[in-house]
Structure 1
C-alpha cells in the first residue's frame, strides 16, 4: 500500500522490518515509534534483534510489537535504531506501518564509527 502525502511524495507502508548487516561490525537493532514532532515514543517492548555479524540479517513482524502496551496502528511512523558493538548508535530512515505483507529492508553499511543506514 502506497499513498501520496500532502507534499506529493509517495509514502511506503510496511508490515515487516528487516535489517541487513553489511558493515564491518557486530550490531543489533530495535524498532521505535515516532510522533508528529519527530520524537521517538519508545522501543517495541520486549524485542531486540540480538547481536549479529556482517552478512546476516534479522526480520520482525511489526504487528507483534507493543508500544506502551499497544500494537502499532496503520500509519504509525516507525524507525529502526541500530546499536554497533564498540561503535556509534544510529536511527534508520522512517517508514509507515500497515499489515500488508511488505517488508522495509534496510542496510547498515560502513565501519563502527562511520556507517549509514539505507532503506532499500
Structure 2
C-alpha cells in the first residue's frame, strides 16, 4: 500500500472535480487527472501546493476560489482547462491524491525547463 506523503520533488497525480457547492461537483462531468512535480517554483511553494503539503494518497483537499484566482493560486503550474461554464465565477475544486511517486530526473529537468521558459508569466506551453 502506497503511504508516501507529498513533499518536494515528488510526482503528484490528482483527481480533480469542480462544482458550485462543497457537496456538489456539478461543473465537471467526471474527474480529470492532473500530474505535476511538487515544489519546483522559483518563489517557493504555490498557494495550491501549500494546500497539499504532507498529504498522503487517498486524502482529499477542497478549495473554494474564483476564476480570477487561478493564476495566483497555481502560478507556474500549467493547470489543465476545467472547461467551466461562463457563469461559474466562483467554484469549488475537489482534489483527491491518487499517487505520490519519486519523480524521475528527466521529468524534473523537463519541468524546470518549462518553468524557465515562462519567466514572469505562465504561457501554458
TM-score, structure 2 as length reference? 0.30
Higher strand share: 1
TM-score, structure 1 as length reference? 0.30
- Between 1 and 2, higher relative CO (CA 8 Å, sep ≥ 6) is seen in 2
Higher helix share: 2
